Amino acid sequence: MIINHEEQRVYVRQSWLGDMMICMERGRLADIKPEFRTGSDATIMGTAVHHGIEQVLTNQISAVDIADAAVFRLGQLMTEEKWKHTNVEPDDMVPYVALMARAWAQDIAPKVPTGGRVEQKFAAPMNRMVQVDVDKAYELWFAGTMDYVAPDGTLWDWKTAARKYSQSEKQKQSIQASVYAYAAVALGYTNWDVTFNFGVLTRNSKSSGSIVPVNRTKAHGDWVAEQATTTVTSALRMGHAIAWPKNDQHNLCSDKWCPWWSICKGSYVSDVEQQWSQEAQ
């Protein structure tokens, strides 16, 4: 959440809204301690594959060269960025990136209409106000970057993931699809109803690409704007100076997957104590 006093606007990204839904303290720490946010092996692999896809979609390289472009970018990220090991074997990083890039070219690219907007940054008004202070109400806006907006208005997002996506889960719960659909309609890229395609590449030795479509109607857009308004209003009321509710009842609350672990649950409970131990009986 970014409060811009000059523009009198509050900007919300879908990732922040997602964080707030699982653990509000994660959302607060993302705002006040962004320097803790480091990449992981999985995230830099995803960034490298995105780079290859972007190069193909902008006609800078041909699809046959996508694996080389992605692996080259991975090498740069491994040396330039701060990132941590999670559950990917270090020796698998390069081959998996090459496999995912090729899987995109083979399984997904033939179904992507060419000539669209690549890595489209956006900021879109929700036509809602939030109270940032007793006498100050600011406009609420969504912000972010869409991976690809096809000429027919279909939205695409590339995902690298350990396993395939569940379409029913994404249709019910994807905040990203709702936020991007809302913004795409608000900015005139498309009209309701919107199709949002996840292009999913599995991160393993048999990587394949699958397209998982979800649909978004105006009702989904209104709902996500309501979620954003109520979440931002609660956050503004609490203020960043005090800690927000700390929810550990989900899999991202761990040393590997929460960047703020060391200053939050990790300052009470070690990663070892997270595991069951016979000796502790």
Minimum Å distance from CB 239 to ligand SF4? 17
Residue 235 sits in the site that holds ligand SF4 (CB under 6 A): no
Residue 246 sits in the site that holds ligand SF4 (CB under 6 A): yes
Element (H, E) at 210: strand 209-216
Burial class (CB in 10 A: 0-12, 13-18, 19+), 43: middle
The site that binds ligand SF4 (CB under 6 A) totals a number of residues, namely: 14
The single residue listed with the structure tokens 């997904």 is: 108
Distance CA(24)–CA(13), nearest Å, equals 14
3-class state of residue 18 by DSSP:
helix
| Helix (H), strand (E) counts: the chain | 8, 9
SS (H, E, C) 33-71: CHHHCCEEHHHHHHHHHHHHHHHHHCCCCCHHHHHHHHH
Reported as half-sphere exposure (CB side, CA atoms, 13 A), residue 4 has a value of 13
Q: Considering the complex, state which of residue 185 and residue 253 has its C-beta at the smaller distance from ligand SF4.
A: 253
Residues from 81 through 110 that contact ligand SF4 (CB under 6 A): none
Q: Which residue number has the CB closest to ligand SF4?
A: 264
Minimum Å distance from CB 26 to ligand SF4? 4
Q: Considering the complex, state which of residue 107 and residue 248 has its C-beta at the smaller distance from ligand SF4.
A: 248
Q: Considering the complex, state which of residue 68 and residue 248 has its C-beta at the smaller distance from ligand SF4.
A: 248
Residues from 15 through 34 that contact ligand SF4 (CB under 6 A): 23, 25-26, 29
CA distances from 18 to 8, 23, 26 (A): 24, 9, 10
Residues from 159 through 188 that contact ligand SF4 (CB under 6 A): none
Give the binding range for ligand SF4 (CB under 6 A) out of 70-78, 89-97, 139-147, 242-250: 242-250
Minimum Å distance from CB 32 to ligand SF4? 12
Which residue in 50, 73, 102, 265 binds ligand SF4 (CB under 6 A)?
265
Q: What is the DSSP string of 99-129?
A: HHHHHIIIIIGGGSPSS-EEEEEEEEEEEEE
Distance CA(95)–CA(48), nearest Å, equals 12
Are 201 and 162 a contacting pair, CB within 8 Å? no
Give the binding range for ligand SF4 (CB under 6 A) out of 112-120, 135-143, 189-197, 241-249: 241-249
Give the binding range for ligand SF4 (CB under 6 A) out of 183-191, 199-207, 255-263, 270-278: 255-263
DSSP state of 258: -
Distance CA(49)–CA(38), nearest Å, equals 18
Which residue in 179, 183, 214, 253 binds ligand SF4 (CB under 6 A)?
253
Give the binding range for ligand SF4 (CB under 6 A) out of 114-122, 148-156, 157-165, 248-256: 248-256
Minimum Å distance from CB 44 to ligand SF4? 21
Residue 158 sits in the site that holds ligand SF4 (CB under 6 A): no
Interface residues toward ligand SF4, by CB under 6 A = 23, 25-26, 29, 246-248, 252-253, 258, 260-261, 264-265
